[in-house]
């Protein structure tokens, strides 16, 4: 199995970890009697994206990245999620898309040239393997860790093991 | 070249990006007449590590990860850095260590069982390839993005392209 096909599981595991982190966020809001929308609309700087948008982008990075590499069309999302439940549904749909990508569709994707938008006006190009390792993975982690940091900054009791959850530890 | 040998460059590129982000932090402190130590000792939550510690750990993740995978002893750092200059020196020493790892020393590391501490009392074990992909990489990105977020939260003008810098874009 190629590096890229092998990496699908890393995206699923990380999105599952993000889902667990958001669950803790929702539980914390309930326990502390905070409107959950305060957390999902929280941000680390006035000109940074809020939590909900970070989660939306983490999902997009995964689905669009593998759509471009595999040639399989990704589901379209309307970017209307504001609640924890809606964000969980988006993550679940993204994981479902990733699970249905067939290994065969990724054959040769390492050497394929991938074009992708970076901001509203720029289109960038990379070779498939570099795109995955230097763009898609770092972006997935960027938005997942920022989501984590927003919740942590707002007093949610998450720890790094929530983020690393699902790693294949040996007995 | 194996997946693991091929990954050394991803660690170097990410640490270089972290170095550039810290440079912007230092420049911002100077421009805004802020004591730079205010930034390096800043954190996102009272029980999270401050910026300096995030950078120290990002370096340790890289050097200890590749030390365990290659069997090459890593340099020891005293964890005394507090200034931007000292943090830059630590990053430079870490990159230098990574650059000197010979490809041959990583042959077979995918299947090697790696033991590593997780906190003061626990030792975990993983197979080399899982250790790299599910532990070392996510940890590198975790501490790099958290360092970025701490500076961003403190008004430093960094953007995601600073973090993604060095990606092999095609013309």
Beta carbons of B170 and A45 less than 8 Å apart = no
The DSSP secondary-structure symbol of A105 reads G
Instruction: Read off the pLDDT of residues B106-130 as tens digits, 9 standing for 90 and up.
Output: 999 999 999 999 888 999 999 999 9
Of A44, A127, A134, which has the smallest distance from its Cβ to B152's Cβ? A44
Beta carbons of B44 and A152 less than 8 Å apart = yes
Q: How far is A166 from chain B (nearest CA, A)?
A: 8
As given in the structure block, the two tokens for residue B58 are 């990002």
Dist. CA A81–CA B125, nearest whole Å: 39
Instruction: Read off the pLDDT of residues B17-50 as tens digits, 9 standing for 90 and up.
Output: 999 999 999 999 999 999 999 999 999 999 999 9
Burial class (CB in 10 A: 0-12, 13-18, 19+), B61: buried
Query: Which chain B residues are Cβ-neighbours of A2 within 8 angstroms?
Result: none
Dist. CA A171–CA A157, nearest whole Å: 27
pLDDT at B119: 84
Residue of B83, B106, B74 whose CA lies nearest to B25: B83
pTM tops 0.95: yes
Beta carbons of B160 and A142 less than 8 Å apart = yes
Q: How far is B90 from chain A (nearest CA, A)?
A: 22
User: A-B interface: how many C-beta pairs under 8 angstroms?
Assistant: 97
Examine the pLDDT at B1 and tell me if it is beyond 80. no
The DSSP secondary-structure symbol of A34 reads -
**Complex-level ipTM beyond the 0.90 threshold:** yes
As given in the structure block, the two tokens for residue B153 are 């939260």
Examine the pLDDT at B14 and tell me if it is beyond 80. yes
pLDDT band at B3 (very low <50, low <70, confident <90, very high): confident
pLDDT at B29: 98
Average pLDDT of chain B to the nearest whole number: 97
The arithmetic mean of pLDDT across residues B54-72, rounded, is: 98
pLDDT at B157: 98
pLDDT at A119: 84
pLDDT at B60: 98
Contacts of B78 (CB under 8 A, 6+ apart): none
The arithmetic mean of pLDDT across residues B140-153, rounded, is: 98
Beta carbons of A44 and B160 less than 8 Å apart = no
Examine the pLDDT at B170 and tell me if it is beyond 80. yes
The residue of chain B with its CA nearest to that of A125 is B170
pLDDT band at B2 (very low <50, low <70, confident <90, very high): confident
* pLDDT tens sequence for chain A (171 residues): 688 889 999 999 999 999 999 999 999 999 999 999 999 999 999 999 999 999 999 999 999 999 999 999 999 999 999 999 999 999 999 999 999 999 999 999 999 999 999 888 999 999 999 999 999 999 999 999 999 999 999 999 999 999 999 999 999
The residue of chain A with its CA nearest to that of B154 is A45
Query: Which chain B residues are Cβ-neighbours of A166 within 8 angstroms?
Result: 134
The residue of chain A with its CA nearest to that of B165 is A134
Task: Give the three-state DSSP class for B117.
Answer: strand
Alpha helices in B71-159 (DSSP H): 84-99, 128-131, 137-153
Of A48, A145, A167, which has the smallest distance from its Cβ to B142's Cβ? A145
């Amino acid at each position: 199995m190629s590096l890229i096909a092998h990496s699908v599981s890393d995206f699923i595991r990380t999105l599952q970890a993000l889902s667990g982190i958001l669950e803790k966020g929702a539980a914390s809001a309930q326990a502390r009697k905070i409107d959950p929308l305060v957390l999902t609309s929280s941000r680390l700087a006035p000109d940074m994206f809020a939590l909900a948008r970070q989660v939306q982008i983490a999902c997009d990075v995964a689905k669009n990245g593998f759509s471009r590499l595999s040639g399989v069309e990704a589901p379209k999302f309307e970017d209307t999620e504001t609640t924890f439940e809606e964000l969980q549904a988006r993550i679940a749909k993204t994981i479902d898309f990733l699970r249905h990508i067939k290994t065969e569709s990724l054959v040769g994707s390492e050497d394929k040239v991938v074009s992708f938008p970076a901001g509203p006006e720029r289109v960038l190009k990379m070779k498939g393997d570099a795109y995955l390792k230097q763009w898609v993975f770092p972006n997935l982690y960027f938005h997942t860790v920022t989501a984590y940091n927003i919740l942590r900054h707002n007093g949610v009791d998450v720890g790094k093991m929530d983020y690393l959850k699902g790693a294949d530890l040996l007995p």
